[in-house]
Amino acid sequence: MKSTQIAMKPTPPFNFDCTVYVPHYFPTPDFAWQPGTMWQTLNFNGTLMGLRMENKGRIDNPKIKLTVYSETKLSEENTGKVVEELNWKYGLNEDISEFFRKFEHDKFLKPTFKRLRGMRNNCANSLYELLIISIVLQNAMVRRTVQMMDNLFIAYGTKLKFDQKSCLPTGAQKTSTKQVRTS
């Protein structure tokens, strides 16, 4: 199994942890997080990948080390497309500096800016994933909905093991566990 490492430079200000992980998000087994590091699966054009994003910078000088795990070495073109996808999903190229400059002294926003400065709104889920989440949320408590999502992942997902993590990507057909690790 192969890994590809890419250095990414989001547009500052960028708050890695507040962007990639928001505790009130709907939990799914295709994602893991600890401060400074995020693991996620990606079904990219039918190719299952494991992603590890690591914060290597600061809010005003952001840097991300991206490691993409896949069964075969990614071509330069596909590497660029994965980076483009992540830039879009996490708003890495959005310039939000003017907003923070304009409202940095606002008495209501100042405490929030102190905690969340550089946070981006992310769209880490695809439309398909959002539709499935919306369907299972209908007339069910969140705890039951999480159980239903876990069952869908188990029934229809392909378990990926990469970077000492196990995650189930959505939208993949059920097959055996695939090992995706560095070579």
Instruction: Give 63-114 pLDDT, tens digit per residue.
Output: 999 999 999 999 999 999 999 999 999 999 999 999 989 998 999 998 988 8
91/145: higher pLDDT? 91
Angle, helix 142-156 to helix 127-137, in steps of 10 degrees: 130
Token digits for 61? 């000088």
| Cα within 13 Å of Cα(183), Cβ side | 10
Does residue 179 register a pLDDT over 70? no
Average pLDDT over residues 44-63: 94
pLDDT value at residue 78: 93
The domain locations on the chain are 2-179
How far is CA 130 from each of CA 64, 135, 143, 176, 181, rounded to the nearest angstrom?
Answer: 26, 9, 17, 25, 28
118/24: higher pLDDT? 118
Does residue 25 register a pLDDT over 80? no
Considering only the top CATH level, what class is 2-179? alpha beta
Average pLDDT over residues 171-181: 41
Does residue 38 register a pLDDT over 90? yes
